[in-house]
Structure 1
Amino acid sequence: MKLLVLGGTRFVGYEVVLSALSRGHEVTTFNRGQTAKGVHSGVKELYGDRDGGLDVLRGGTWDAVIDTCGYLPRLVRASGQELADRVGVYTFISSISVYKDLSVPLNHEHSDVRELEDESIEDIPNHYGALKARCEQILESFMPGRVLTVRPGLIVGPRDLSDRFTYWPVRISRGGEILCPGQGDSEVQFIDVRDLAEWTVAMTEARRTGVYNAAGPGVRLTMRELLERAREALGSSAVFTWCGESFLAEQGVRGWSDMPVWLPAEGELSEFRGMLQADYSKAVQAGLTFRPVEETVRDTVRYHGHRGEGDAWKAGLSAARERELLALWHGGKSGERRDGGHG
């Protein structure tokens, strides 16, 4: 298969290219060439810009394109127009965030999606789900019946620089007492980037189209189970101290950012708990498989474990902040009943 990858040098795009090469496909990447030039051997690299610099694509045709970096409708429309007659299948990496009501569990592929009131809005952090949903609609309008839309949940593993999962394996690998959120019974979902990439390439290769949620890890998993399995996988002596939600709220500790992979049952972030409870059975029926959680944990530490306590992290608690909070918890300064416990 002649495959064009929009992106191809970072995280999802990087793994998509690796997977495609391992399956014997002829791969061309298109990106700005600003990072990781020549990171893949045996790949034709085209340099341009999605924002007004697509001319270089006009010289080629491909069996399929996998778009790993489409966020703005204006730019996705441009790539769709440019490639509609140059590719057979357009695979678009979207997001589970497109769903209109993320407070409920088991959103499926036919659940209502968010609407973008004004397509001139390009504020990605505050309108991410609606922007992705509009991108999906634009592509389908250009290539009806020829679009594979993949809606991943939390994507994790090596080369993830968001720290939205990475914090926990690396923190556990260091040992000691670790502050953990709530009772540990909240459900979590995530997918290893390599599993996502391999399945996406296989689906594209088979010219499958339609919409698929892509989450994991294939079994129901709680926060406590995730951290305990990580501890065992790493042979760590870490001790988990589970701190109640009201204590964390009192101290201004936020889910997702301060406590990655976790969304509280109360408060403003509770309306997003459905992000970690999606129905991804359709993708499983279509061949999506999952490596063991332990493998993802170990490989994440292997890639990121060199980062020290003083390094900047995009998510999670600093070592100093964690010590401060643990002292408050043990000192009972919040007045909250100690219902978190150890593990």
Structure 2
Amino acid sequence: MRLLVLGGTRFVGRAVAAEAVRRGHDVVCAARGKAGAVAAGARLVRVDRDDEDGLAPVRGERFDAVVDVAPLSYPWVARALAEFGDRVGHWTFVSSISAYAEPGIPPTGVGDPLLPPRTEQGAREDLAADPDLYGAVKVASENAVLDAVGDRAFIVRAGLIVGPDDPFDRFGYWPARMSRGGRVVVPDTDVSAQYIDVRDLAAWITDAAEKGVTGIYDGIGPAQPLLDLLGGIAEQVGEDVELVRAPEEKLTELGVKPWSGPRSLPLWLPASHKYLAARDAAPALATGLTPRALVDVVAGALEHERTLGLDRKREAGLTPVEETEVLDAL
């Protein structure tokens, strides 16, 4: 199979390229090449998707399948479809569960209401003021894919993606924190947690391209109580840890934020998004998505954390000083 990965130099795109190369496929990664190197064995073609004609360097090449991981740009998706959509047998678009409009109510499946589509290009820094932007752009991008390639489309609404090369620090905060041992602040909550290791997601996406799997799926592992997951991470890390439950109201009073960002407890969801991590993984699992054991997920995340440096400034979580302040206030 000849595979075009639109991206391929970081996290999901790079993992897909690496998996496809491992299986013996001919892989081309079309990217600026600024985020990192492509996987060994893949070929990088430098493109600038911000440019109206940015895909010209791969124009005329023929591919059996395309994987597009465009994060926050409808124009990128539309230009790629115009360039290749009419002559590619299988098209994967990596979307997001952030596309759903009502994360505060129990989900029923991929037919749940979506955010109003927005056909624009955003930037990560825009999301603080406009948190629905990411999901709304994904909805518009999904619509474009379905309009252009129809029943050749494989749309993956990914949940929390974790593992090697994760740039967001959310899942990784927990094994890194558990590795220090001692009293660990956790939210006293009944919310669920879901995740998928990037290596398992990449394997599933490659499987789908090989086998012609199409449709719309929530690309995520089974849901479980967040506190069970945190207990499992502590057990796998193997340090002497005491999980100290902090009431959600107290955390809010102390200025601790949910989910991500500075001074946060990652994976803790506010009431407005209580069911964001309660999606039904069964349809994806039935098509071959195979989540690895927690011990392997934790090992991969912790190795990545140690590579980056456990004492670095993080994208998400509490610093040791902040955690001590919370513990003292409980």
TM-score range, shorter chain: over 0.9
Q: Is the 8 A contact 1:98 1:132 kept in 2?
A: yes
Question: In structure 2, what is the Cα distance between the partners aligned to 1:62 and 1:121?
Answer: 26
Aligned to 1:256: 259
Question: What amino acid is aligned across from residue 36 of structure 1 in structure 2?
Answer: G
SS in 1 for 2:217: strand
Aligned to 1:233: 236
Q: Structure 2 unaligned runs (5+)?
A: none
Aligned to 1:188: 193
Aligned to 2:181: 175
Question: In structure 2, what is the Cα distance between the partners aligned to 1:79 and 1:207?
Answer: 20
Structure 2 length as normaliser, TM-score?
A: 0.92
Task: Note the 1:136-155 alignment, pairs <5 A.
Answer: 136-155=142-161
Query: Which string of whole-angstrom CA distances, capped at 9 and with x for unpartnered residues, describes residues 205-239 of structure 1?
Result: 111211011111x3x42122112211211111011
Aligned to 2:49: 50
Aligned to 2:114: 113
Aligned to 2:281: 280
**1:121/1:302 Cα in 2 relative to 1: closer, same or farther (>3 Å)?**
closer
Query: Which string of whole-angstrom CA distances, capped at 9 and with x for unpartnered residues, describes residues 3-47 of structure 1?
Result: 00011111111110111112221111100011323x422222110
Question: In structure 2, what is the Cα distance between the partners aligned to 1:95 and 1:45?
Answer: 26
2:213 aligned with 1:208, yes or no? yes
Query: Which string of whole-angstrom CA distances, capped at 9 and with x for unpartnered residues, describes residues 91-150 of structure 1?
Result: 00000111111112234111121113x534736622111110010001111112111100
Question: In structure 1, what is the Cα distance between the partners aligned to 2:66 and 2:191?
Answer: 37
SS in 2 for 1:12: helix
Q: Is the 8 A contact 1:60 1:86 kept in 2?
A: no
Question: In structure 2, what is the Cα distance between the partners aligned to 1:224 and 1:102?
Answer: 20
Question: In structure 2, what is the Cα distance between the partners aligned to 1:197 and 1:160?
Answer: 13
Structure 1 length as normaliser, TM-score?
A: 0.89
Question: What amino acid is aligned across from residue 16 of structure 2 in structure 1?
Answer: V
Aligned to 2:169: 163
Query: Which string of whole-angstrom CA distances, capped at 9 and with x for unpartnered residues, describes residues 36-79 of structure 1?
Result: 23x42222211011112110121301000001224221221111
Q: Structure 1 unaligned runs (5+)?
A: 264-268, 330-343
Task: Note the 1:56-135 alignment, pairs <5 A.
Answer: 56-116=57-117, 119-120=119-120, 122=122, 125=127, 126=130, 127-135=133-141
Question: In structure 1, what is the Cα distance between the partners aligned to 2:70 and 2:134?
Answer: 13
Whichever structure has more strand as a proportion of its residues is 2
SS in 2 for 1:85: helix
2:307 aligned with 1:302, yes or no? no
Tell me how many residue pairs correspond in the alignment. 319
Query: Which string of whole-angstrom CA distances, capped at 9 and with x for unpartnered residues, describes residues 226-260 of structure 1?
Result: 12211211111011111111111111111102010
Question: In structure 1, what is the Cα distance between the partners aligned to 2:25 and 2:77?
Answer: 24
**1:309/1:62 Cα in 2 relative to 1: closer, same or farther (>3 Å)?**
closer
Question: What amino acid is aligned across from residue 199 of structure 2 in structure 1?
Answer: R
Aligned to 2:272: 271
